Amino acid sequence: MQPHPDAGATYKIIARDDGAFEVKVTVPKAATPVIITGLSTKADAERWIAKHQEAIAAGAPDRHQAPSGPTDPK
């Protein structure tokens, strides 16, 4: 299994002035951090982090899967 591209990511929960939350995700091999927005509560931010960590633990996504859906353009 290939390591996930976000392996080694660190997270920082940021409380915004409007009461919402963001997660700053820093990935070791990325040039800039990614900011995840649209999180209403701190618990939502924590859940987002947990789901991201689960995806990382599962390994790299299989990018060689055949596309789903119809293949006949008729």
Q: What is the pLDDT of residues 21-49, one digit of tens each?
A: 999 999 998 999 999 999 999 999 999 99
Contact status, residue 8 vs residue 27, Cβ threshold 8 Å: yes
Beta-carbon contacts of residue 58 (< 8 Å; ≥ 6 apart):
4
Contact status, residue 48 vs residue 37, Cβ threshold 8 Å: no
Beta-carbon neighbour count of residue 13 at 10 Å? 16
Would the pLDDT of 60 be above 80?
A: no
How does residue 63 score in pLDDT terms, banded at 50, 70 and 90? low
pLDDT for res 32: 96
pLDDT for res 5: 87
Find the helix or strand (DSSP H, E) in which 56 lies: helix 42-57
What's the CA angle centered on 62, arms 60 and 68, to 5 degrees? Answer: 145
